Chain A
Amino acid sequence: MDWVALRVSLWLAAGTVALLVPCGVYVGRFLAFHRFRGKLLIEALVTVPLVLPPTVLGYYLLVTFGARSALGRAFETVVGHTLPFSFEGLLLASVIANIPFVVQPIQRGFEAIPADVRDAAACCGLTPWQRFLRIEAPLAWPGVVTAAILAFAHTLGEFGVVLMVGGNLPGVTRTLSVAIYDRMQAFDDRSAGVMAAVLLLVSVATLMITTGLSRRVGLRRG
């Protein structure tokens, strides 16, 4: 069992959730409540990471943030090293790969709030912030929690993007899923088996929690 890899995986997943969920709430809520020209395109772009092979995603991330690109050079001057093959680069890639897993459940959560209920909140004298905190957030939270859990679990299991962008540096970019692949290559079936079981357990638990939460949303409206 590669504990260092597990630690990298958990840090990466936690960091992804911490960065992505607040942005996801903003974007998901905006998409749920507003109709505007080009909304379809934005929704398609948000979903693209879901359908692209992770290798394609990784390729574009490398091209965009590589040492030869303007963004990559900007990153290097700020942080001090290049983005690919670093934890920060891996985190950024993970955030982008997880956008659909976060934005969509949150958007659905906010969409489930009837327009009349939001209007009623305004007519009760609640300011936009009060409406968000006292009416919208309590009604949409199952969507937000689902988003966080999906992003966390998906990051633990991500393989293609990690390998393309992060490589396989122990303690830096070697995550649990890459470690499993690594152990298999080395014919260390036992270690691979233990780590695979850990990931399987986490996945099942995640799905149980998210399914339970989505039932809760259903009950609320009934």
Chain B
Amino acid sequence: MVDRGLSVKLRQAEGIPLDVEFACAAGEVLAIFGASGSGKTTILRTIAGLYRPASASVQCGGMTWTDSASRTFVPPHARAVGYVFQEYALFPHLTALGNVMTALGHRPLHERPARADALLAQVKLSGRAGRRPHELSGGERQRVALARALAREPAVLLLDEPFAAVDRAVRRRLQDEIDALRRTLDVPLVLVTHDFDDVVRLATHVLVLEQGRGVALGSLAALTSRPDLAFLREAAGAGSVVDGVVTRIDLERGLAELSFDGGRLFVPARGGRVGEAVRMRIPAREVILATTAPQGLSLHNVLSGRVTAVHSDGTHDHMIVQIEIGGSRLLAEVTRDAVTRLAITPGVRIFALIKSVSIEVQGPALEERTQEAGDGIQA
């Protein structure tokens, strides 16, 4: 992590207030999540050297890019940054190929056309090389922007709301592609988004930002199982994210068995293969609590655990209960009355009941595929 990772520390009181500190290792995806105007883009701009806060330290790939203490500042064009801008910021006077070639200045001249072709092929745009940005669809522009960012052979990849300008179907496809990409890329990837769906699908780590201040930082599973993060709850509804793997598929019963650190969960089978990694999101509203192991239920999923925290918003009649199940933590949203009736306090043994259909599963094949129409992908 020390050498090829990214580490950032920013402080600024005036103008755009900033107070964050985080690190992101190669291969990790850090999602900076917050409402619009919370300073997300400013953080990306600072990493790229496009913005200079009052006090900043940016280290990447073992190099110091910004350090206000020692007055170090590497100009943006000397930083190996792959930046995908929110509106893509393609060069309107250049073709898709020209846009990608512009970022290949570090390569010898004779290598550039072939390299740019290969990058366009990688984002499935071979047939669009000669088109200008205004002749491309939103999804295609996004791909050109991504190819251009990769052309730089970046030490860090920055994505600013990469899916904001494309429709839902294209969005899914692009999310999958970026997820596949980051596995091969092996550099830190920082993703700015206000949509929790992006976070769940792509992030390994999350930084929650409120008015420029980092209010929570940690792995996705750790953050989504914290009962006290009101902002996450408002944005997405409380729900913990758990990573697991497909261990069995029972087509006769129509069920897939997913193992995670803490037990097994059954979900409706929709294809998929044994051994595939999957990510599950368990909405807190869908978790029922019981103090004794229930009998005679239609439920597949009864998990035994221990209450680790009970959190109240103060204003709501609902409470968030955090349950430790093996090495994982789940959230359950129950009424204040239920908490009193069942005497739910930290330390108490508890059973979590989850309907198999309420578990949101994402994985290479388990989710239902949305076929995208209109956004011509070139074979």
What is the interface of chain B mostly: helix, strand, loop, or mixed? loop
| Nearest B residue (CB) for A118 | B89
Nearest chain B CB to A171 CB, angstrom units: 45
Q: Across the interface, which residues of B come within 8 angstroms of A138, CB to CB? A: 93
Within 8 A of A (CB), among B32-52: 45, 48-50
Pairs A-B, 6 closest by C-beta atoms: A116-B89, A124-B103, A122-B76, A120-B89, A123-B83, A138-B93
Chain B positions within 8 Å of A, measured between CB atoms, are 45, 48-50, 75-79, 81-83, 85-87, 89-93, 102-103, 105-106, 134, 148-149, 151-152
Given the known interface contacts A120-B83, A123-B76, A123-B81, the answer about A135 and B91 at a Cβ–Cβ threshold of 8 Å is yes
A189 is an interface residue with CB less than 8 A from chain B: no
Q: Once bound together, how far apart are the Cα atoms of A131 and B50, in whole Å?
A: 14
Q: Once bound together, how far apart are the Cα atoms of A90 and B85, in whole Å?
A: 50
Within 8 A of B (CB), among A95-152: 114, 116-117, 119-128, 130-131, 134-135, 138-139
Nearest chain A CB to B66 CB, angstrom units: 14
Chain A positions within 8 Å of B, measured between CB atoms, are 114, 116-117, 119-128, 130-131, 134-135, 138-139, 220-222
Interchain CB contact (< 8 A) of A119 among B79, B89, B148, B152:
B89
Cβ contacts A to B, 23 pairs, < 8 Å = A114-B87, A116-B89, A117-B90, A117-B91, A119-B76, A119-B83, A119-B85, A119-B89, A120-B89, A122-B49, A123-B48, A123-B50, A123-B81, A123-B103, A124-B148, A124-B151, A125-B103, A125-B152, A127-B77, A135-B91, A138-B93, A139-B93, A220-B92
Q: Once bound together, how far apart are the Cα atoms of A220 and B132, in whole Å?
A: 10
| Nearest B residue (CB) for A124 | B103
Q: Across the interface, which residues of A come within 8 angstroms of B87, CB to CB? A: 114, 116
Cβ-defined contact, A222 with B103, below 8 A: no
Q: Across the interface, which residues of B come within 8 angstroms of A222, CB to CB? A: 134
Q: Once bound together, how far apart are the Cα atoms of A180 and B48, in whole Å?
A: 60
Q: Across the interface, which residues of B come within 8 angstroms of A125, CB to CB? A: 77-78, 103, 105-106, 152
